[in-house]
């Protein structure tokens, strides 16, 4: 018997690449839990990223480094239970793939098997090539991530724009072409000059998804908590806030507190 889930046409890597060919922009957002993922999927988001930004926005850590593979699997499986249509990509967390391709393969397999996700994302270029090849060899789609790669924050020292200098820009172009040649299906470009992102997007046949990379990437991604104004103290230039949920939710909670204190809640209709 077919279920409602099976009737919806799911987004695939092939569809994302076809979107690039026909010039249709790809919309990607983060989700880490069932309820948010349900809303994004109902809105017809193309790609949901279970980002390791969960370390910041869900767990309150300063960086993405502390989040574990088990925690990523927990978030990813919650998201997967909510979606009918979106393509779901999960970040391999710091320490689960760097410097050891066997470890990378095991981490990717755990994510795919235990969460039911559709692809994994890894940060880096040539230095993670062996891990990318090994994961791809098992048929798991891989999304790359270049530019500002937050798992390397202690190497960079700051979250400022990357690849402004010619040498780093050249290296980024080479890394993007290298990841494409290995078989990555898409690449995130984070916080790099718009001109460079345009050039990379034009020179690749696979889609680029930008965050702080200007308008000419093949798609855009934001952290949903930033877009909704839940994380109110994070205000980079690239961010467009569509709501100010921090204030709205705070207002609702304050109203609830005063209703309880004033014995206004529950009223006669709100009881048995």
Residues of this chain that bind ligand KIV (CB under 6 A):
30, 49, 51-53, 91, 188, 190, 211, 221, 223
Nearer to ligand KIV, 159 or 178 (CB): 159
Residue 6, C-beta contacts closer than 8 angstroms, at least 6 positions apart: none
Answer for the pair 89, 119: CB distance below 8 angstroms, yes or no: yes
If you count them, how many residues does the chain have?
A: 272
CB of residue 56 vs ligand KIV: minimum separation in angstroms?
8
Nearer to ligand KIV, 120 or 263 (CB): 120
Which residue's beta carbon is nearest to the bound ligand KIV?
Answer: 51
Q: Quote the tokens at residue 163.
A: 């690849």
Nearer to ligand KIV, 30 or 96 (CB): 30
Answer for the pair 41, 85: CB distance below 8 angstroms, yes or no: yes
Cα separation of 24 and 11, whole Å?
14
CB of residue 269 vs ligand KIV: minimum separation in angstroms?
43
CB of residue 89 vs ligand KIV: minimum separation in angstroms?
9
CB atoms within 10 A of CB 224: 24
Cα separation of 92 and 69, whole Å?
7
Residue 46, C-beta contacts closer than 8 angstroms, at least 6 positions apart: 11, 16, 19, 26, 27, 28, 86, 87, 219
From 62, 190, 202, 247, active-site residue: 190
CB of residue 209 vs ligand KIV: minimum separation in angstroms?
7
Map tokens 């809105």 to a residue. 43
CB of residue 2 vs ligand KIV: minimum separation in angstroms?
34
Instruction: Decide if 202 is catalytic.
Output: no
Specify the 3-state DSSP secondary structure of 26: strand
Nearer to ligand KIV, 8 or 77 (CB): 77
| CA distances (Å), origin 14, targets 6, 17, 203 | 18, 5, 19
CB of residue 175 vs ligand KIV: minimum separation in angstroms?
16
Residue 86, C-beta contacts closer than 8 angstroms, at least 6 positions apart: 10, 11, 37, 40, 41, 45, 46, 47, 48
Nearer to ligand KIV, 154 or 272 (CB): 154
Nearer to ligand KIV, 8 or 193 (CB): 193
Active-site residues, by number, are: 190
């Amino acid at each position: 018997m077919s279920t409602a889930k099976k009737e919806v046409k799911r987004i695939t890597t092939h569809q994302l690449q076809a979107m690039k060919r026909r010039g249709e922009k790809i919309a990607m957002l983060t989700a880490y839990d069932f309820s948010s993922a349900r809303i994004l999927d109902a809105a017809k988001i193309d790609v949901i990223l279970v980002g390791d930004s969960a370390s910041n926005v869900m767990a309150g850590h300063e960086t993405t480094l502390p989040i574990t593979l088990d925690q990523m699997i927990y978030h990813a499986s919650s998201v997967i239970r909510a979606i009918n249509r979106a393509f779901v990509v999960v970040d391999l967390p710091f320490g689960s793939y760097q410097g050891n391709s066997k470890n990378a393969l095991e981490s990717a397999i755990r994510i795919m098997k235990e969460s039911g996700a559709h692809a994994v994302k890894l940060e880096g270029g040539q230095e993670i090539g062996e891990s990318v090849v090994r994961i791809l060899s098992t048929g798991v789609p891989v999304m790359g991530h270049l530019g500002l790669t937050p798992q390397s924050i202690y190497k960079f020292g700051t979250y400022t724009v990357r690849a402004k200098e010619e040498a780093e820009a050249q290296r980024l172009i080479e890394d993007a072409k290298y990841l494409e040649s290995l078989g990555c299906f898409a690449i995130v470009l984070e916080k790099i000059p718009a001109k460079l992102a345009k050039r990379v997007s034009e020179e690749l046949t696979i889609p680029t998804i930008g965050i702080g990379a200007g308008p000419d990437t093949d798609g855009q991604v934001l952290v949903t908590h930033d877009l909704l104004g839940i994380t109110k103290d994070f205000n980079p230039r690239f961010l467009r806030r569509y709501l100010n949920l921090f204030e709205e939710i705070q207002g609702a909670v304050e109203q609830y507190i005063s209703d309880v204190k004033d014995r206004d809640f529950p009223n006669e209709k709100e009881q048995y």
